[in-house]
Amino acid sequence: MHASLLPFRASLPRALRYALLASLVAGLPRAAVAQERPSAFVDAAGVVPGLIVDMRYAGSHNFVGRPIDGYEAPRCLLTQSAAAALASVARDLAPRGVVLKVFDCYRPTRAVANFVRWARDPDDVAGKAEFYPEVDKRTLFRDGYIAARSSHSRGSTVDLTLARSDGRELDMGTPFDFFSPRSWVAAGVSDEAKANRTLLAATMRRRGFRPYAREWWHFTLAREPYPDSYFDFPVR
C-alpha cells in the first residue's frame, strides 16, 4: 500500500479501504501489482514428468555472466495452464526416451530491467565469447535478441531444449541464448540438429505453444491466461 496511507488506513471502513486499494492498484503498472507469487503460478518441476531444471539466470552461466535480479532460487515457475500443457509435451516425448530441459520460465520484470541496463553498458562483455561472439552488443535490441518487455513476465513462456534422461542435451545446432542468425528456427544447421528442432517445435505446437522465429528454444502458450499482465514477484 502507498506509504502516505499507512497512518490512517486502519481508521477507514473496510469497504472504503478496499475501494481505495483497488484504485491505487489500477493506477500502478501491471508489472508492479503482484509482489507475492499468485496462486495461479506453480513450480513446473512438480507437474512436468522428468523435467530437468537448469535455470541459467539464477546463476552465472548466462550472457550477462552473473545472477540476474529477481532470481532468488533456480525454480521454473509457470502459470498452471502452461505447466499442464508442458506436462503433456513431456508425456508425448517419453516414448522416445527424451525429456525436457528448461533454461528459463517465468521472468520478473526486474530481471528484464537488469538485461536492459546491461545492454546499455558497452564495456560489460563478460559473456561475449560464449553467447554473442559474432554480434555487436549495441545491436542486440535492434536485432530482437533483447527486448524492453518480455513475454516471460506473463508466466506462460518457456525456454527449453530436448535431452536424454541423464541430462545430455540433443544437438540443436547452437547452445541456448546464442545470439546469432544460426539460432533462428529456419537457419541452416546439420540434419541432426534440424530434426531435433523440428521434433521440439512440432511437439510444443501440438500442445498449444507458439515458437519464436529467432530463438529455437523459445515458446509461448497460445492461450495464455495473462496476455496483458507483466508480473514482478521474485522467483523463490
Q: Which residues are catalytic?
A: 215
Pairing of strands 52-53, 98-104: parallel
In 3D, which of 157, 149, 160, 159 has the Cα closest to residue 225? 157
